[in-house]
Structure 1
């Protein structure tokens, strides 16, 4: 039943199989003389229908190669090889079905993302559960996720804890543990216990649905490169006709003309390239990169310049505690604990870094009272009977009426000063860490043929140059406004130019680059919308992986075309010498089609480029890489 149902999607394939079956039965009856007429009439009808479509394509300026199949069918009928004509018709009508099958195999990883997208959500309403369409979930709704279900929308965890498989989003195979109050991205698979979360975004704005939208765009894309075989179409057609004509002229036998053309049918050229590109896009998805079109893969293959934003791309984009400097009186851990106890009442990004730094050292903040924050300057609180002031040096000096010595900083660092009971006791040094995989990514891109690597950043030059030197980047454009980045990409001499960025301010330059790649792991929606490819995990090495996949894909696509052409030409020469009957040649051509498609499917395979992080680069202390308060 399944086979019949699948054939029903391709009526011409079903009709061809039906004609073959009827003709086979008739050949065993007194009606056998009608078989050649039936088969030939059907073959010519399909050839005529294909010829009409071919003429329409020619009028639109597209030089297809269906002329070979049409000529082969006609010639086979004329010389009485009606069964060979029917086999060629089967190839011609089955081409779409064969391409769909191969493309579905190639896009398995992309399709898996779409097939897992939940259609419904369980909303807690007045103490009872009701199932609603996922598109009807609104921010603030309480959503229950049952065991092994996919999280339908982004939300905040209400339950005490949750174990989630987020490998489809991040590529990380280990379960992730979330605690009450943590943000839970959509797309993760819940563990063995039902959990409740409060929706923070609608389905349309949630991370997983945005990924699904990107995948849908990728799977429906067509490009010039998918028609890569067109550049071979006219020469291949002329060569085939020349060999067939010469064989006829030398042998004086018109059958020889048909025997050559039935092995020159064009399926390898029509199917191999699209299958290879879909396979490459599927492989890129496994590497954590959604490539929106096959044309993007072609441009990545030819990339000669790669430009990186710094903050959030080459660095993590968030400050981390590097060290604690003390001025005497209190131990470093005590200074950090008191500072974190005060900073837990602040909403500033640097306060989060201080609190997290204390927790990583096993220091739990103490509950305080009377907390008061001056936005962008600092916070004051009473902690265990001691007055703690944390913030800018000028703020701490004003609050304590005491001179505060500046901390000794190196490029990329900033200081948060601390005073206890009116006395300065030290400074917490923070920095935006460079990604562990950033240096390896740059060197890998160079090995893949990228001639020029740039860093475009709005940070101060000393900070930018310090990071760039550690990563082996010699072209640094610092203190850039968004327009400056656009001009730098536009004026780059080695093209195509790939721009890798993160955040809303990178959207213009991503759109202006030949290929824009957005670091979308943390939901940079504007950047992702402007980009040609989106990195789904928080790992810049995926950029190098995408370039490698593109090169493998182009190589496999061309190889599959050349394999198909080579085998077809070899069979044509054998047929031209009279050693390959038309019916046998038609079936052998089906084998050539299969070989070319299987070769093209190799583009979907390949080992992951990104492995364990290399030795982390730890810059020494600098100028602020994060906006200080």
Structure 2
């Protein structure tokens, strides 16, 4: 299975189709020769030369059977079993009994299987291919004199100014230089409406520039840009195999034994080797080999259309079986943008002095609360003080030397461990406190609030309807705050004041498996890796979380967590339906053929119809059921 990288798709459809027709014989030479032989056989029959027709058809069929048999022997020696033995025997048997037309149909099925799989797989991975094909290969870089030069995207460096023309794809991550521009991010995030970016705003690589040429300042190389990481994940996903696909491979051995048993009994009962051949021509179950991979590609393509990158096919199967869902709180259940509600200083410090010292120390922290504290200080017009030294303990707090003072900012327990007089701050529903100590003495608190996402409660209800009965929040915040959020969204279990190792332990010990874990930050990476299915949400900035996760949601839309589970269940359901549909129809045809009422040529044609039906059924994974909405 191959995925090609290139520039944007050519809009001249007729030339492309002509090129594909010309490439067909080169890509599938055995299919092309089989079709040519078939036409030659028909021509010989129409001109009254049946003997020559039989020699031509039989000779080619046996040649292909010999080639397949040699490949089969090599596979067996390598420890791989399959259904090729049925096809080789069917071809040989039909030639022996003079049913060379049926043997040609079986040969066409054998040689055309790869072409059929490629066609179905390309249809199934349409959205995945769309992401790959959009990847630009050139960038328009501005020279110092204002002229434009086209350079390979690999040569773009941070700081370069790039022109992106209308209807072109942004080649690397960058910041908008122009005053304002609209971008279509639908192929990446699944958002159908264009988004407006203004000067200084970050622009996601892979976005489509809308109506006017714009200038961006590159902030990353192509290798470090978000779109390249998405492309790498898509390649990994398209090349993976799910356990259910390997399970289909294992069905091949008992199916082969059953087919030979039915064919042998039919031969014994009728005393006619022709019936043996008639049974075997309907017993080549290509659906076993093709339908499940097509269904899984379809599921991953459907997920990509919704802005969800599922890294491998096995993840889809685990998503289908999820029984427990765990969520980080800040930035996942909540918006992750806490707002300062109040400052409670202790003498001799004033509110502005306390906020200024805390924000200056938080300059050296990557925590989302630190960002909110700094933004609140800047909004009040406070000038931050550079720190002489700073040290952060992840998830606990930060210690910094600011303006000659030793400032500690963080959780109550952390501040209390290195200062005196720390008093607990009373909090309202959904509020949280940041504690501050200066020179070893408690200096006050900053009270903040982070709003719950509007779709959080609905997402929990959807997960419960999908069979995810156990749901929990894992958070480093105090229990009162976490419990309030959990109650507001319908999550029954709370694990508060967790360190990263506590989250990992809780996920590993969860009794109802598989466990899905949803997070968004760098500190979520360990628990995402420990979960059966790790989901990184809003992954534009959370690189570590994205790399540790099995599923990456490209927007901050919590509801897509439920969408991912729904797609997983639908995909596995369709894959198994397709496998059993192919087996059931093949078995039914074998039993009918065992009565001797189906001529070999009609049996071979009916098996082709079974293959097509099973693959068309597998393509249903591209869309939801009538009761589902993407």
Normalised by the size of structure 1, how large is the TM-score? Answer: 0.82
Q: How far apart are residue 325 of structure 1 and its match?
A: 10
- Within 5 Å, give how 1:299-448 maps onto structure 2: 299-320=318-339, 371=383, 373=385, 409-414=427-432, 430-448=448-466
SS at match of 1:117: coil
- Using a 3 Å threshold, how does the CA distance of structure 1 residues 351 and 557 change in structure 2: closer, same or farther? closer
Counterpart residue number, 1:77? 95
Q: Does 1:574 align with 2:592?
A: yes
Asked if residue 50 in structure 1 is aligned to residue 68 in structure 2, the reply is yes
TM-aligned CA deviation for residue 320 of structure 1: 3.3
Q: Which of 79, 88, 98 lines up with 2:106 in the alignment?
A: 88
Q: What whole-Å deviation, never above 9, does each CA across 1:330-365 have from its counterpart, x for those lacking one?
A: xxxxx99xx99xx99x9797797589899xxxxx97
Deviation at 1:578, TM superposition (A): 2.0
CA shift digits 1:557-615 (9 cap, x unpaired): 11112222222222222222222110111111111111111000000112799989xxx
For residues 237-288 of structure 1, what are the alpha-carbon distances to aligned partners after superposition, in whole Å with 9 as ceiling and x for unaligned?
A: 2322222222212211110111111111111111110101100111111222
1:21 corresponds to 2:39: yes
| Partner SS state of residue 229, structure 1 | helix
Q: Does the Cα contact within 8 Å between 2:539 and 2:546 map onto a contact in 1?
A: no
Distance 1:223 1:350 in 2: 40
Is the CA contact (8 Å cut-off) linking 2:65 and 2:88 kept in structure 1?
yes
CA contact (8 A) 1:315 1:432 kept: yes
CA drift of 1:114 comes to 1.0
Whole-Å Cα distance in 2 between the matches of residues 113 and 607 of structure 1?
25
Match of 1:564 among 545, 563, 582: 582
Matched, 1:208 2:227: yes
**1:597 & 1:591 partners in 2: Cα distance?**
10
Q: Does 1:256 align with 2:269?
A: no
| 1:433 to 1:609, Cα distance in 2 relative to 1, 3 A | farther
Q: By how many angstroms is 1:523 displaced?
A: 2.4
Which residue is 1:488 aligned to? 506
Aligned 8 A contact 2:189 2:308 in 1: no
Q: Distance in 2 between matches of 1:154 and 1:491?
A: 39
Q: How does 1:170-319 map to 2 (within 5 A)?
A: 170-319=189-338
**Deviation string for 1:60-91 (max 9, x for gaps)?**
33321222111111111111111100100100
Cα offset, 1:133, TM superposition: 0.9
* Displacement of 1:171: 2.1
Kept in 1, the 8 Å contact 2:102–2:601? The answer is yes
Which residue, 116, 123, 127 being the options, matches 1:98? 116
State the SS of the aligned residue for 2:539: coil
Structure 2 gaps of 5+ residues are: 1-17, 345-350, 388-397, 401-408, 411-422, 436-444
Separation of aligned partners in 1, 2:301 and 2:115: 20
Residue of structure 2 in register with 1:615 after alignment: none
Q: After superposition, what is the alpha-carbon deviation per residue over 1:368-404, rounded to whole angstroms, capped at 9, x for unaligned?
A: 6x945477899xxxxxxxxxxxx99xxxxxxxxxxxx
Asked if the contact 2:166/2:212 (under 8 Å) is kept, the reply is yes
- Cα RMSD (Å): 3.4
Task: Tell me the SS of whatever aligns to 2:140.
Answer: strand
Aligned pair count reads 563
Q: Please state how far the C-alpha of 1:412 moved relative to its aligned partner.
A: 3.5
Gaps of 5+ in 1: 327-334, 359-363, 379-390, 393-404, 418-426, 613-629
Preserved contact between residue 574 and residue 580 of structure 1 (Cα < 8 Å): yes
SS for the counterpart of 1:122 is strand
Contact kept in structure 2, 1:227 and 1:274, CA below 8 Å: no
**1:411–1:61 Cα change, 3 Å:** farther
Within 5 Å, which residues of 2 pair with 1:32-51? 32-51=50-69
